[in-house]
Amino acid sequence: MSGRFAPSPTGDLHLGNLRTALLAWLAARSSGCSFLIRMEDLDLVTSSVEHERRQVADLTALGLDHDGDIVRQSERFDLYRSHIDRLAAAGRIYPCYCTRREIREEIEAAASAPHGLPDGAYPGICRDLTDDERDAREAAGRTPALRLRTDGQWLEFDDRVLGRVGGHVDDVVLARADGVPAYNLAVVVDDELQAIDQVVRGDDLASSTPRQLLLQRLLGFGAPEYQHVPLVLGPTGHRLAKRDGAVTLAELAAEGWTAAEALAVLARSVGLATATEPTPTVTTDRLIDRYDPSALPREPSAFADLVALRG
Ligand code: GLU
């Protein structure tokens, strides 16, 4: 049995990322799962081993240990491509020559999304191109992305935090035009090959889970258990970001915070410790028995409210 934390090593982890990591670790440790770290470094430009080193150091500082070697997606492109080939052989892939702008214009021109799909879903421009239409695009020097051919079907799953969740599946990109595999494909392949049973991640990814469920089915994989946990939001109501002030352990340390204080704040913010419980007694080991995904808040936390929990 395994759980995992899968950050992108593109900068230091902020308190929102660290809270997700804490909850993923607690989920794993409270259910007898090993806890793996996977670096989602598909974007070779923004990712670096230095960011990876600092992220792992921050996890360690909070008391979140991990099992086994760290897996890096950048070292597994061949694996992702072989799974894309399997989907292609099953007739589930089509090349898409659209630019972002063409897609945006098509969406704006249409009165509503096709098949009742969510806003922003790919409108299917390249879905049924004739050979001549494809040849014309190739001749114009366009390199295609690869998309999954779906029926816009509705898929549901039981989330241990959110309850029953459902969503339409759209023709998601599986490989970018420059050949880089896309997140949804890589995550499904890795969760299967790493034998992940438990996926704990931010609830902004709950809407991508139906896509991943479909990919799992098409590739003959089982589905892990899901726990989508609430995000920490910055002052403008967006997912917490670097620009929102002192949000990383290093930045908070410069303001006098200890790692133990950060851990206590994260635990208090999801009801795993009380506001009056002294910080030194809030240790990761003590939190394991208190972890219950169904008792987690479903609402996001404001960063300012988190900071106020320092006591
Ligand atoms: N790499 C994603 C992130 O940093 C997480 C993906 C996942 O857990 O499935 O938000």
* CA 131 and chain centroid, separation: 36
- In a shared domain, residues 87 and 153: yes
Q: Which amino acid is at 273?
A: A
- Tell me the chain's radius of gyration from C-alpha atoms: 21
- In a shared domain, residues 67 and 89: no
Q: Is 8 in the pocket of ligand 1 (CB under 6 A)?
A: yes
Q: Which of 183, 191, 213, 215 to mutate to test the pocket of ligand 1 (most atoms within 8 A of CB)?
A: 183
Give the residue from 183, 216, 247 where a domain finishes: 183
Confidence (pLDDT) at 121: 87
**Is 214 domain-assigned?**
no
Q: What is the CATH number of the domain that holds 34?
A: 3.40.50.620
Determine which residue's CA is closest to atom 1 belonging to ligand 1.
7
- In a shared domain, residues 95 and 155: yes
Q: Is 209 in the pocket of ligand 1 (CB under 6 A)?
A: no
Nearest-angstrom CA–CA distance, 114 and 198: 33
- In a shared domain, residues 83 and 68: no
How far, in Å, from the CA of 56 to the mean position of ligand 1?
15
Confidence (pLDDT) at 120: 77
- The token duo for 67 is 């099992």
Q: Is 248 in the pocket of ligand 1 (CB under 6 A)?
A: no
Atom of ligand 1 nearest to the CA of 202: 10
How far, in Å, from the CA of 19 to the mean position of ligand 1?
13
Atom of ligand 1 nearest to the CA of 187: 9
Give the residue from 123, 152, 183 where a domain finishes: 183
**Is 44 domain-assigned?**
yes
**Is 53 domain-assigned?**
yes
- In a shared domain, residues 34 and 121: no
- In a shared domain, residues 10 and 106: no
Q: Is 201 in the pocket of ligand 1 (CB under 6 A)?
A: yes
**Is 190 domain-assigned?**
no
Q: What is the CATH number of the domain that holds 172?
A: 3.90.800.10
Q: Is 43 in the pocket of ligand 1 (CB under 6 A)?
A: no
- The token duo for 152 is 């816009």
- In a shared domain, residues 269 and 296: yes
Note down the domain range covering 137: 78-183
Q: Is 7 in the pocket of ligand 1 (CB under 6 A)?
A: yes
- In a shared domain, residues 18 and 63: yes
How far, in Å, from the CA of 122 to the mean position of ligand 1?
22
Nearest-angstrom CA–CA distance, 306 and 15: 9
**Is 188 domain-assigned?**
no
- In a shared domain, residues 82 and 174: yes
**Number of domains, the chain:** 2
Atom of ligand 1 nearest to the CA of 40: 1
**Is 32 domain-assigned?**
yes
Q: Is 40 in the pocket of ligand 1 (CB under 6 A)?
A: yes
pLDDT tens for each residue of the chain, 311 residues long:
999 999 999 999 999 999 999 999 999 999 999 999 999 999 999 999 999 999 999 999 999 999 999 999 999 999 999 999 999 999 999 999 999 999 999 988 887 666 567 677 899 999 999 999 999 999 999 999 999 999 999 999 999 999 999 999 999 999 999 999 999 999 999 999 999 999 999 999 999 999 999 999 999 999 999 999 999 999 999 999 999 999 999 999 999 999 999 999 999 999 999 999 999 999 999 999 999 999 999 999 999 999 999 97
Q: Which three-class secondary structure state does DSSP give residue 36?
A: strand
Give the residue from 147, 163, 183 where a domain finishes: 183
- In a shared domain, residues 92 and 155: yes
Give the pairing of strands 225-229 and 198-202.
parallel
- In a shared domain, residues 175 and 82: yes
**Is 144 domain-assigned?**
yes
Give the residue among 306, 309, 310 at the shortest CA–CA distance from 16.
306
Confidence (pLDDT) at 112: 66
- In a shared domain, residues 85 and 68: no
- The token duo for 202 is 């931010």
Q: Is 293 in the pocket of ligand 1 (CB under 6 A)?
A: no
Q: Which of 14, 71, 187 to mutate to test the pocket of ligand 1 (most atoms within 8 A of CB)?
A: 187
Q: Is 187 in the pocket of ligand 1 (CB under 6 A)?
A: yes
Confidence (pLDDT) at 119: 72
Q: Is 3 in the pocket of ligand 1 (CB under 6 A)?
A: no
Contact of 137 with 94, CB cutoff 8 Å: no
Nearest-angstrom CA–CA distance, 178 and 145: 8
Contact of 227 with 200, CB cutoff 8 Å: yes
pTM, 2 dp: 0.96
**Is 27 domain-assigned?**
yes
247 exposed, middle or buried (CB, 10 Å; 0-12, 13-18, 19+)?
Answer: buried
